[in-house]
Chain A
Amino acid sequence: DVKVTQSSRYLVKRTGEKVFLECVQDMDHENMFWYRQDPGLGLRLIYFSYDVKMKEKGDIPEGYSVSREKKERFSLILESASTNQTSMYLCASRSGQSAYEQYFGPGTRLTVT
């Protein structure tokens, strides 16, 4: 059974804190993604990675960075959390071909106060 796990289901942080969100997949997928999901806006791509140490900006990368040191792990970093980064964060992974399914983790509900 395929699995994508995320380090926390719920997280509360203060404005200005550095926040780390971890994602691990066990399917040996090349591609990994970070999205945020907000009501009425759907899923928006923050960053993705198609290989170890490779990363590409998505549609809304401002205020975020990522790290992929190992194939199975993709981390999202909020350098200085702000209240407008309060959201649901979803990690996903996918095999190389474009027609393949994306598998999502359970999500992290981040609240920045």
Chain B
Amino acid sequence: RKEVEQDPGPFNVPEGATVAFNCTYSNSASQSFFWYRQDCRKEPKLLMSVYSSGNEDGRFTAQLNRASQYISLLIRDSKLSDSATYLCVVRTGGFKTIFGAGTRLFVKA
């Protein structure tokens, strides 16, 4: 079993749609959680950190469920520019950082 698992997709959605991604992690000692975005042929960049109480940044909402060991990302009112691969990232303190393989999103006009 992978330490961090994501549905690879692709998710194909129309503009304006709401889309949600989930990510599960296996290590209950994990401490920090992030979503990164990676555009085609580009490097990953931080989209948002994920806090225990859940957090929102504009159209993006991230949630953490420690009991079930998953994190989620909700994108509302999808834009064409949201098309990218979304990486779930879990850090188990210190230097151990695990990246999920990513979920591909295509937003179509």
Q: For A31, list chain B residues within 8 Å (CB).
A: 95
> How far apart are the CA atoms of A40 and B104 in the complex, in Å?
11
Task: Give the nearest-CB partner of A41 in chain B.
Answer: B101
**CB contact between A43 and one of B31, B44, B46, B95 (< 8 Å): that residue:** B44
Q: For B4, list chain A residues within 8 Å (CB).
A: 42
Pairwise interchain contact B49-A102, C-beta atoms closer than 8 A: no
**How many B residues are at the interface, by size bracket?**
20 to 34
Given A98-B31, A98-B94, also A43-B43 (CB < 8 A): no
Q: Give 1 or 0 for each of B29-72: 1 = CB within 8 Å of chain A CB.
A: 00110100000001111100100000000000000000000000
Pairwise interchain contact A90-B43, C-beta atoms closer than 8 A: yes
Q: Give 1 or 0 for each of B94-109: 1 = CB within 8 Å of chain A CB.
A: 1101011110000000
Task: Give the nearest-CB partner of B92 in chain A.
Answer: A98
**How many A residues are at the interface, by size bracket?**
20 to 34
Pairwise interchain contact B32-A99, C-beta atoms closer than 8 A: yes
Pairwise interchain contact A105-B99, C-beta atoms closer than 8 A: no
Given A101-B46, A104-B44, A104-B45, also A42-B87 (CB < 8 A): yes
Pairwise interchain contact B99-A43, C-beta atoms closer than 8 A: yes
> How far apart are the CA atoms of A79 and B100 in the complex, in Å?
28
Separation in Å of the B95 CB from the closest CB of chain A? Answer: 6
> How far apart are the CA atoms of A11 and B101 in the complex, in Å?
24
Q: For A35, list chain B residues within 8 Å (CB).
A: 99
> How far apart are the CA atoms of A40 and B95 in the complex, in Å?
23
Pairwise interchain contact A98-B102, C-beta atoms closer than 8 A: no
Q: Give 1 or 0 for each of A63-105: 1 = CB within 8 Å of chain B CB.
A: 0000000000000000000000000001000000011011011
Given A98-B91, A99-B49, also A105-B44 (CB < 8 A): no
Pairwise interchain contact B100-A42, C-beta atoms closer than 8 A: yes
- 6 A-B pairs whose Cβ atoms sit less than 8 Å apart in the complex: A42-B100, A43-B44, A90-B44, A99-B91, A104-B43, A104-B45
Residues of A participating in the B interface, judged by any CB pair closer than 8 Å = 31, 33, 35, 40-43, 45, 48, 50, 56, 90, 98-99, 101-102, 104-107
